[in-house]
Amino acid sequence: SQQGEEDPQALSIQEGENATMNCSYKTSINNLQWYRQNSGRGLVHLILIRSNEREKHSGRLRVTLDTSKKSSSLLITASRAADTASYFCATDNSMEYGNKLVFGAGTILRVKS
Amino acid sequence: DAGVTQSPTHLIKTRGQQVTLRCSPKSGHDTVSWYQQALGQGPQFIFQYYEEEERQRGNFPDRFSGHQFPNYSSELNVNALLLGDSALYLCASSLTMNTEAFFGQGTRLTVV
């Protein structure tokens, strides 16, 4: 079963615009991680936000976490054609060993040049 | 610093056969997890190894088994392959709880 659900399922924007993807989950978590995947290859780690954090930045990426609403958002500013990929959120709620990640189905982002 | 490496990249097997996939974790990482990703879906957790023992397991049958070696590398074995086992198999490594998990490029398994 998948805990996280990304919204929207697909997003198409022009280069230079901002892209926002949302993720909702069902249970309490230790942390939430965002990943990018190009053309069915491996997952590239983007950012980890812990349950006691509300916002994190990394370059053009901004992630927010609202544990009361069990939701997170990923904002990519000034998008580029190279940002075209699938984006996944993954939650970790394992109590003992950690990193038993539960993924959503992902958001497909297309950035048109 | 090498990241997570997986081999082979692609594999074609016949239904009923057995397959072994391999993973070397990122330098300094001691925990390896395996995921299965079907086409168009998010990855699903298979199991996790730490200190050469299976520590956590997802909802996968016993046909899926694994091993971790003293150098932290790991193998995923799948017996009695089914057509439905066709997927991208991803290995992830991490160090401790509440830290980032880094993924390899995956092994694309096709069962015919």
Chain B residues in contact with A87 (beta carbon < 8 A): none
- Overall CATH class of domain B5-111: mainly beta
Q: B58 to each of B23, B51, B72, how far by Cα in Å? A: 19, 18, 20
- Looking at domain A5-112, its CATH superfamily turns out to be Immunoglobulins (2.60.40.10)
Question: Tokens standing for A51?
Answer: 């349950």
Higher-scoring residue by pLDDT: B85, A5: B85
Q: In the structure, what pLDDT confidence band is assigned to residue B1 with cuts at 50, 70 and 90?
A: low
- Is residue A2 pLDDT above 80, yes or no? no
Chain B residues in contact with A10 (beta carbon < 8 A): none
**Residues B74-78, mean pLDDT to the nearest whole number:** 98
pLDDT tens-digit map of A95-111: 777 788 999 999 999 99
pLDDT tens-digit map of A9-63: 999 999 999 999 999 999 999 999 999 999 878 999 999 999 999 999 999 999 9
Counting one residue from chain A and one from chain B, the pairs whose CB atoms sit within 8 A come to: 88
Closest CA relative to residue A90, chosen from A82, A81, A99: A99
Chain B: give the shortest CA distance to residue A1, in Å: 8
Chain A: give the shortest CA distance to residue B25, in Å: 14
Q: What is the pLDDT of residue B108?
A: 97
Q: How far is it, in rounded angstroms, from Cα A59 to Cα A75?
A: 11
Q: In the structure, what pLDDT confidence band is assigned to residue A1 with cuts at 50, 70 and 90?
A: very low
Q: What is the pLDDT of residue A6?
A: 86
